[in-house]
Amino acid sequence: MNREEILPRLQTELGAKLLRWHVKSPKRLFVEVAPEHIVEVARLLYDGLGARFQIASGIDLLEAMEILYHWAFDASDCLLTVRVRLDRTRPEIDSLTPVLKAAEWIEREMWELLGINFRNHPGLAHLLLKEDWPEGQYPLRRDYKKAEYPKPADAHD
Amino acid sequence: MTTDYLHWLAQVLVFPGLLFTASAGLVTSWIDRKVTARVQMRVGPPFLQPWYDFLKLLIKETIVPAGGAKWLFLSAPLLGLGAVTLASTIIWRSQLAPHQGFVGDVIVLLYLLTMPAVGTVLGAFSSRNPLASLGGSREMKLVMGYELPFVLAVLVPVIRAKSLRLGDILAVEPSALAASGVIALLVSVFCIQAKLTQVPFDLPEAETELTGGAYIEYSGVPLALFKLTKAMMLFTLPVFLVALFGGGMGLQQGWAGLAAGIAKYLGIVIVLTLIRNTAPRVRIDQAVKFFWGPLTVAAAVAVGLALGGW
Amino acid sequence: MGLALQILTRSLNVFHMAGSACNNCDIEILDALTPKYDLERFGLVLVGSIRHADVILLSGVFNKKSALRAKLVYEQAPKPVVVVAIGGCACSGLMFKDSYNWDQPVGRYIPIDAYIPGCPPKPEAMIAGIVKLLTKLRSA
């Protein structure tokens, strides 16, 4: 899969579902799709184009919540980033875990830190935060206020 | 009769038994650490360091892990300590008075010198810790690996002296002067390295990998006894090799003989230390293949040569 | 106890516990244990198991999740044991004191005997801190 073939292939397969694209440099490609089609895009990239899922990153922009899925084409040395924008009041998206086992933990992390609900995820449990972290508190949201924790009973000062 | 028993008890506990072997073992471990430091171009610990380490462990708390077998956990170190004390006593008695040994004491020594490894295995499995079980199972496999070539190598001086008594082996010409003896000595140096669980065969106690391995749950007095056993083995095993292959520590030949004996003993200790400093750790399957493959073949060749008279 | 402390200060097993560190202090600790500084001539040896430890070196900012585990590990060390906090994060939390995942310095979970500040402290600073600690123990 040459670098020049990736974007035309995506345009043919996805058609109108490919909302925007931007070629930043020969090695770096950015596309945007709607959240409903993310599983189809993942299947296309993984099975059809032979890309490797690297990581996903989520961020709370005040107008929306954005997830970037980073895919690598190792043979042609190029990176593709797929962007989706979610409604900030009720952020929800289909989970990629049924298609890619590799997405399981990063989706757990995005859920516990940003509050994005991943439908059909096999088990959304805490990954980095304490097991008894209070419900509904998502630290990486812009409107998160750090709660005061009481000093432990056997503190040493 | 009572004086005989008291005499025997003094021999086991003081000289050449527990106190003498323990002190000599701690000095030998200092030599090992100093040579290691010099090879790594640094200064190294002071002379009394092994004594400080031992005494410090005696003042620490002894913690027994919950759910483990408490009596086995606390008594496993005593097995190795007792065995190496008796082995050292027998070896030195044979050198001080060769005609007073008994036929078959070489076989008894071979058995006694496997007991420290058995003690480690028992201690590891009574710790109720998965890393300790890994260390213990590796120690078991290692013992099964090196015992075969070691016994074959020990067979060479026995064949040359035509006797199973250590005193008779000391009386004949040293085996290291013959071709079969040289091969057997090289084989047994590798087996000694594994008996002491030193690099490249220190899998049971792999520090960076198993974080302490077989000894992970040990603390305080039992750990002090384990470390003391290892130091005593570091002293006893080279002396055993010198007695089997080099004609003994030269106690019957005056001061010159004793100096030559000490030089041979130090030579083996320094070879063990240099191997320890220059080799990486091997995996358990590589170690067992090494012992059952090239070393066993070499030891069998040595036995064949000894039977043929070379 | 005086003689016991004297012997303890001459043979110290060092155990290194890092709690969510950036690892710079960990690298400096390993530097201090290399042949250039040669801590073995003072009797200091790095060990892998907490049950063999006499000195626990804490490095890194211990967040809410790892501070509880650090306390468990401290309780497993056979006493007497000495705890040293290395680096600004272990001493006080440093720049992470307003983070969502940190609530108090690890010194409130584990009693600390010596603080070695720095980001990261040089091996010379660590050696100076350890020497001060040993002097304090020997005169106790």
Q: Are A155 and C104 an interchain contact pair (Cβ–Cβ within 8 Å)?
A: yes
Mutation for testing the A interface, residue in C68, C99, C103, C106 having most A CBs under 10 Å: C103
> Which of C8, C52, C74, C137 would you mutate first to test chain B, the one with the most B CBs within 10 A?
C52
Q: Is pLDDT above 90 for A26?
A: no
CB contact under 8 A, A151 and C109: no
Longest Cα–Cα distance in chain C? 46
Of B146 and A144, more confident = B146
Structure tokens at C8: 């303890």
Report ipTM (2 d.p.): 0.88
Give the global pTM. Answer: 0.86
The reply to whether residue C35 touches residue B46, judged by beta carbons under 8 angstroms, is no
Minimal Cβ distance to B61: which of C10, C36, C78: C78
Q: Is the pLDDT of residue A154 over 70?
A: no
Among A60, A113, A114, A129, most C C-beta atoms within 10 A, so best to mutate, is A129
Contact call for A152 and C110, based on CB within 8 A: no
- What is the C-alpha separation between B12 and B7, in angstroms, rounded? 9
Whether the Cβ atoms of residue C138 and residue C9 lie closer than 8 Å to each other: yes
Q: What angle do CA A131, A134, A140 make, to 5 degrees?
A: 90
CB count, 10 Å around CB of B156? 28
Would you give per-residue pLDDT tens digits along chain B (310 residues)? 778 888 888 888 887 888 999 999 999 999 999 999 999 888 889 999 999 999 999 988 898 888 878 899 999 999 999 999 999 999 988 888 877 778 888 999 999 999 999 999 999 999 888 888 888 888 899 999 999 999 999 999 998 888 888 888 888 888 778 888 899 999 999 999 999 988 888 877 766 666 777 888 898 899 999 999 999 999 999 999 999 988 888 777 788 888 989 999 999 999 999 999 898 888 888 899 999 999 999 999 999 998 988 7
Which residues from chain C sit within 8 angstroms of residue B53, using beta carbons? 11, 43
Mean pLDDT lowest among A80-89, B257-266, C98-107? C98-107
| Nearest-angstrom CA–CA distance, B8 and A144 | 79
Q: Which residues of A touch C111 (CB under 8 A)?
A: 156
C-alpha to C-alpha distance for C54 and C46, rounded to whole angstroms: 10
Q: How far apart are CA B39 and CA B276, in angstroms?
A: 11
* Mean pLDDT in residue range A14-19: 86
DSSP state string for chain C: -HHHHHHHHHSEEEEEEESS--SHHHHHHHHHTSTTT-GGGGTEEE-S-GGG-SEEEEES---HHHHHHHHHHHHTSPSS-EEEEESHHHHH-GGGTT-TT--S-GGGTS--SEEE--SSPPHHHHHHHHHHHHHHHHT-
Subunit partners of chain A (3 or more CB pairs within 8 A): C
Are C82 and C55 in contact by the 8 Å Cβ rule? The answer is yes
CA-based nearest distance A149→chain C, Å:
7
In tens, the pLDDT along C17-70 reads 998 889 999 999 989 888 888 888 888 888 888 999 999 999 999 988 888 899
By CB atoms closer than 10 A (0-12, 13-18, 19+), residue A76 is middle
Q: Is residue C139 within 8 angstroms of chain B, CB to CB?
A: no
The number of helices, as runs of H, and strands, as runs of E, in chain A is 3, 7
Coil/strand/helix, residue B219: coil
